[in-house]
Chains A and B, each alone.
Chain A
Amino acid sequence: MQLDLAEIEEIAKLLYIRALKLLPDDVKEGFVRLQRTETDPTGRSLLATMVENIAVAERDDNLLCQDTGIPIYNITIGRGVSFDGAALKAAIRRGCERATREHPLRSSVVHPITRRNEHTSCGIRVPVLHIDFDDRPETVEIEMIPKGSGSENGSFLRMLVPADGVAAVKRFVIDRVIEAGGKVCPPTIVGVGIGGTSDLCMHLAKIAATRPLGSVCADPEGAALESELSRAVNMLGIGPQGLGGDSTAFAVHVETAATHITMNPVAVNIQCHSARRASATITPGGVTFGF
């Protein structure tokens, strides 16, 4: 299969807009679960408003949240796919720019030193592109994540040491969720990276924070931590918007990687309740959009 780069550009554009408007089903179901268990009256009322907002966005064909985020595209390329890599990257960037100009969307991206906004949602190394490969025949999947800044500012890394043990990893997660409080727009998905190098650890936390609700860490050790930490963070009482209640997080997700004998790194990256993502799967048969 030869990738049609005009089509990729169009898909990159459509995915950004789709992600901003339609919340994935697993997140909608997450709200239903929280509404069943929330006991705090303020928390219940805030959850109801969030659910109402999802319906208003669909009815009015509007964005769920004003924050158009930092655009992230995760591209997974299967076997038997031919493409010009540099041209693929350029096509995705053009699609991202076009979504911003043509919809139009607020460009939330600025130069980190001058703070200049090019009004394209693009800049140095942005959109963030991750390109990976898998063994699906003649299949390309593009996932788009508009990562909101309120929750992205709830990002933390600590290079713990082996003597600190897994106990310190767990304590770090609890304390960072407390520190983030209402600023990260709870109920959240708390992404935790454990192991790797410092940069890989942070990346693992992002993968964890943006995974669908209901998915489980492939590493059984990580999966056990997920259920333990999910229970513990929801004992804290931070609640929706940090205004009190049982619904602090939809879930804690964990991703792991092997690390060095001298290292014990842990990272936290948080996803707000507007846990937006969209995906497109390209095969010789055509394109299907999903989440």
Chain B
Amino acid sequence: MPCDEAAVRRLRVGDTVTLENWLFGIRDATQIAMFDRGRNIRLDLRGHAVIHTAPNVKRVPPSPEAPAGYAPLCIGTTTSMRMERFTEPLMRDHGVRLVIGKGGLGPASAEAFRRYGGAYLAVVGGAAALETTWITAIEDVDLDDLHPESLWKFRIRRFGPLLVAMDSHGGSLYATVGERVAARRAAALAALAALGAED
């Protein structure tokens, strides 16, 4: 990372991706500050991937291994859907290309991915001990008054494999699964005793 629009537009739902070099961590408070309160950020997200996270870190003296004065302890992923309304401005105003999270995003994000050329990569939620082994250092941090919901810059190595769950062509694995689940609802209800007469 970073990558260009053409590379992201080649991704299709079902592909797997492994990222190298850089990754930015953002969360609820980070994006509320950026988009609702107009806070400026010092870090350049253009062409980059962001992950929905707020890490467990330890303060250490700054060094080449810990340029920002933080060592990563446990870095995982949070539920993306709470931050649905921020995908569009992230891509439009900051040129973000990839969003990494868990649980998926909705139609507004799918439209932003289609319009600007972006994708959503699913990481396994709750598998943070494993995810932490893909992060080699915390390179930089901005908006740290929001700690732990700061804007983080992580140095990464073989970050993945991540599943392309939403692409720039309108594809969404969450939407596909959602349709299948809706179709199975009737069968699940029918399997429950004492539902017959009242349905």
Q: Taking beta carbons and an 8 Å cutoff, which residues of A are in contact with B?
A: 42, 46, 49-50, 52-53, 56-57, 60, 62-68, 104-108, 115, 117, 119, 148-150, 153, 165-168, 170-171, 174-175, 178, 181-185, 228-229, 231-233, 235-239, 241-244, 272-274
Interface check B18, CB cutoff 8 A: no
Residues of the A chain whose Cβ atoms lie less than 8 Å from the Cβ of B76: 65-67
The answer to whether A185 touches B129 (Cβ under 8 A) is no
A-B contact count (CB 8 A): 174
Interface check B180, CB cutoff 8 A: yes
Name A273's contact: one of B126, B148, B184 (CB within 8 Å).
B126
Name B174's contact: one of A57, A171, A229, A242 (CB within 8 Å).
A242
Interface check B77, CB cutoff 8 A: yes
Instruction: Give the CA-CA distance A90 to B29 in the complex, in Å.
Output: 30
Instruction: Give the CA-CA distance A148 to B128 in the complex, in Å.
Output: 13
* A106, A170, A241 interface centre (most CB from chain B within 10 Å): A241
Residues of the B chain whose Cβ atoms lie less than 8 Å from the Cβ of A175: 185
Interface locus among B107-115, B136-144, B189-197: B189-197
Known: A174-B192, A244-B176. 10 other contacts (CB 8 A): A49-B130, A56-B130, A178-B181, A183-B103, A236-B181, A236-B184, A237-B177, A237-B184, A241-B124, A243-B177
The answer to whether B125 touches A241 (Cβ under 8 A) is yes
**A62-B74, A181-B174, A236-B185 known; A150+B199 contact, CB < 8 A:** no
Instruction: Give the CA-CA distance A273 to B189 in the complex, in Å.
Output: 24
Residues of the A chain whose Cβ atoms lie less than 8 Å from the Cβ of B58: 104
The answer to whether A239 touches B177 (Cβ under 8 A) is yes
Min CB gap B61→A, angstroms: 16
Q: How many residues of B contact A (CB 8 A)?
A: 53
* Per-residue A-contact encoding for B158-194, CB less than 8 Å = 1, 0 else: 0000010100000001101110111011011101111
* B128, B165, B194 interface centre (most CB from chain A within 10 Å): B128
Residues of the B chain whose Cβ atoms lie less than 8 Å from the Cβ of A273: 126
**A68-B56, A104-B73 known; A272+B188 contact, CB < 8 A:** no
Min CB gap A144→B, angstroms: 17
**Nearest CB in chain B to that of A52: its residue:** B130
Instruction: Give the CA-CA distance A236 to B191 in the complex, in Å.
Output: 11
Min CB gap B195→A, angstroms: 5
The answer to whether A60 touches B133 (Cβ under 8 A) is yes
Interface check B127, CB cutoff 8 A: yes
Instruction: Give the CA-CA distance A242 to B179 in the complex, in Å.
Output: 12
The answer to whether B133 touches A56 (Cβ under 8 A) is yes
Instruction: Give the CA-CA distance A242 to B55 in the complex, in Å.
Output: 23
Instruction: Give the CA-CA distance A232 to B82 in the complex, in Å.
Output: 28
Instruction: Give the CA-CA distance A42 to B126 in the complex, in Å.
Output: 16
Query: Which 10 pairs across A and B sit closest by C-beta, in order of nearness?
Result: A66-B76, A57-B129, A53-B127, A183-B103, A63-B74, A106-B56, A274-B126, A66-B128, A182-B103, A150-B79
Residues of the A chain whose Cβ atoms lie less than 8 Å from the Cβ of B187: 235
The answer to whether A228 touches B192 (Cβ under 8 A) is yes
The answer to whether A242 touches B188 (Cβ under 8 A) is no
Residues of the B chain whose Cβ atoms lie less than 8 Å from the Cβ of A274: 126
**A237-B180, A237-B184 known; A66+B53 contact, CB < 8 A:** yes
Interface check B198, CB cutoff 8 A: yes
**A67-B76, A182-B103, A243-B165 known; A171+B189 contact, CB < 8 A:** yes
**A183-B103, A185-B103 known; A62+B73 contact, CB < 8 A:** yes
* B124, B180, B189 interface centre (most CB from chain A within 10 Å): B124
The answer to whether A117 touches B79 (Cβ under 8 A) is no
The answer to whether B75 touches A174 (Cβ under 8 A) is no
Instruction: Give the CA-CA distance A49 to B132 in the complex, in Å.
Output: 13
Interface check B98, CB cutoff 8 A: no
Name A49's contact: one of B29, B54, B127, B177 (CB within 8 Å).
B127
The answer to whether A53 touches B103 (Cβ under 8 A) is no
Min CB gap B107→A, angstroms: 14
Residues of the A chain whose Cβ atoms lie less than 8 Å from the Cβ of B102: 150, 182, 185, 241
Residues of the B chain whose Cβ atoms lie less than 8 Å from the Cβ of A228: 191-193
**Nearest CB in chain A to that of B196: its residue:** A167
Instruction: Give the CA-CA distance A107 to B127 in the complex, in Å.
Output: 19
Min CB gap B97→A, angstroms: 22
* B78, B81, B122, B192 interface centre (most CB from chain A within 10 Å): B192
